[in-house]
Amino acid sequence: MKLRLILGDQLSLSTSSLSDVASDDLILMCEVRQEATYVKYHKKKIAFVFSAMRHFARELRDRGLQVRYVTYDDPNNSGSLLGEIKKAINLHQCDELVLARPGEHRLQSEFDVLADDLSVPVVMREDDRFLCSTDDFVRWAVGRKQLRMEYFYREMRRKYSILMDAEEPIGGQWNYDAENRKPPTNGMDIPETYKSDPDGITQDVIALVETYFPDHFGDLFPFHFAVTRDQALAALDEFIARRLRLFGDYQDVMIEGEPWMYHSHIALYLNCGLLNPLECISRAEAAYHDGTAPLNAVEGFIRQILGWREYVRGIYWLKMPDYKAANFLEAERALPEFYWTGDTMMNCMRQCITETKQNAYAHHIQRLMVLGNFALLVGLDPDEVNEWYLLVYADAYEWVELPSVLGMILFADGGLLASKPYAASGSYINKMSNYCGSCTYKPTVKNGPKACPFNYLYWDFVARNDVKLRGNPRMGFMYKSLDRMNDEKRQAIQDDSGRFFNALQANEKV
């Protein structure tokens, strides 16, 4: 009998560890303390993963397969994956362990050690939830001076013939990002996101989370995530039918009280295996060909999956484990308490943190240009920022979170991933949102108590990192602007920033 391990982010019948499963094999799934409390994950994420796992186990049993499922509250639960693997092998006299490669480096390291510790062979297969294998990414990266996503994305388009006309991109351009930056407009009709009603399995999981994780971050209710493949497909179909058409135009927009906007909200389903990337891409491409969605929207959505998702995963495995320690800008300020509470006078931060707490979700501009932009400008410690992003979002796993935070948000890798820091003043947030209208601070005021903190913190960031960033060709204009500032302006920036940092240090409301 072979023991086949299914992890909580491998909930797919097509996963490589099940490709040749036999009826007399044993499939092991377990909810363990080691994984659920590695960081203090958002309550909704734990409920989502456990419910999706239990539904997947039921689907496997319905197909006549044998499943050993260990629940979190089982009194005999050892609390660790390795403990449950050893127990299952001994109890059921398994003669081989088969698993798909874990998505995170720490688990990969643990399984490498486990292979020497077990009495049976361990067969570790490629994780086929992705369209680019780690070996293929290494081959793409070898000999390149810059590992830019755009060039990787073009090769993936060619490889899978996505939005292609022979060897050229449909429409004549590879990237329509310049068309996808429209600001908010009055009277936008934003459809609701997909919602499902919790069934008995999910209700049991919710009760478990309430009992065992009461001090974890986030709101558990209302809970409406998809937890089965059929529900995830319905969520995908709803996005294609109702929101994809305007996704491109307004993907950067942020509006109070509208956390979902026109985004797909399927990353959590992709990242746990309920959806596969190629089916999401194919459905979006079909929407373009049948005329229900424009090219800029479809290309932008596909780029997030075929480009960004595959690219950051490749960077992660190419550069780990050293990548995790990257801190190019030598940032070391502690994460402010308001990242957990939302208790801040900066309305943009309050909105994004509150919605994150409520939904275990924020869209990419909220994550990058508000929450991440603040972390970059203030110089927050990368370890603390990484932990925050990993635990608060339902779609976050280290392979996608770490490069996104260290490379895209904090520029901590010194430019391996991004060509420049994604730093911006309050004017960007004011342009792309309606947050500033009800804020204590004013985006048009540059200095003083009423000034938007993003304004003076931006220039403080530029000045503070002169040695590290002045040589970056994409920062040249900023340093020319800084050099033209008179002493009075520079002093005002320094005074405002110093006052703000002192208030942060004293845990005062800012």
- The answer to whether the pTM exceeds 0.85 is yes
Q: What are phi and psi of 493, to 5 degrees?
A: -60, -45
Beta-carbon neighbour count of residue 126 at 10 Å?
A: 12
CA dist 295 and 288 (Å) reads 6
pLDDT (tens digit, 9 = 90+) per residue, 62-102? 999 999 999 999 999 999 999 999 999 999 999 999 999 99
pLDDT (tens digit, 9 = 90+) per residue, 92-148? 999 999 999 999 999 999 898 887 788 899 999 999 999 999 999 999 999 999 999
Q: Please name which of 482, 487, 488 lies closest in space to residue 463, comparing C-alpha atoms.
A: 482
- Greater confidence (406 vs 115) lies with 406
Question: What is the percent of the chain where pLDDT is above 70?
Answer: 100
Q: Which two tokens stand for residue 509?
A: 């409301």
CB 432 within 8 A of CB 254: yes
Beta-carbon neighbour count of residue 116 at 10 Å?
A: 7
- pLDDT, average across residues 249-266: 96
Q: Please name which of 369, 435, 398 lies closest in space to residue 35, comparing C-alpha atoms.
A: 398
H/E segment holding residue 134: helix 134-141
Check whether 181 has a pLDDT greater than 90.
no
CA dist 434 and 411 (Å) reads 27
pLDDT for the residue numbered 186: 86
Inter-helix orientation angle 277-289/229-242, to 10° = 30
pLDDT for the residue numbered 117: 83
Which residues, 6 or more positions from 51, have their beta carbon under 8 angstroms from its beta carbon?
Answer: 198, 201, 202, 205, 225, 227
SS3 68: strand
pLDDT for the residue numbered 308: 97
pLDDT for the residue numbered 391: 98
pLDDT (tens digit, 9 = 90+) per residue, 466-477? 999 999 999 999
H/E segment holding residue 152: helix 149-160
Check whether 486 has a pLDDT greater than 90.
yes
pLDDT (tens digit, 9 = 90+) per residue, 412-464? 999 999 999 999 999 999 999 999 999 999 999 999 999 999 999 999 999 99
Q: What does each C-alpha distance from 43 to 197, 210, 215, 225 come to in angstroms?
A: 17, 8, 9, 13
CA dist 480 and 478 (Å) reads 5
When pLDDT is cut at 50, 70 and 90, the band that residue 282 belongs to is very high
Domains and CATH numbers, the chain: 2-125 (3.40.50.620), 134-191+243-319 (1.25.40.80), 338-505 (1.10.579.10)
DSSP 506: T
Beta bridge partners of residue 433, listed in sequence order:
254
Residues in the chain: 510
Check whether 178 has a pLDDT greater than 90.
no
pLDDT for the residue numbered 98: 97
SS3 4: strand
Check whether 504 has a pLDDT greater than 80.
yes
Mean pLDDT of the residues in the chain? 96
Which residues, 6 or more positions from 368, have their beta carbon under 8 angstroms from its beta carbon?
Answer: 408, 409, 422
pLDDT for the residue numbered 325: 97
CA dist 249 and 256 (Å) reads 18
CA dist 18 and 27 (Å) reads 9
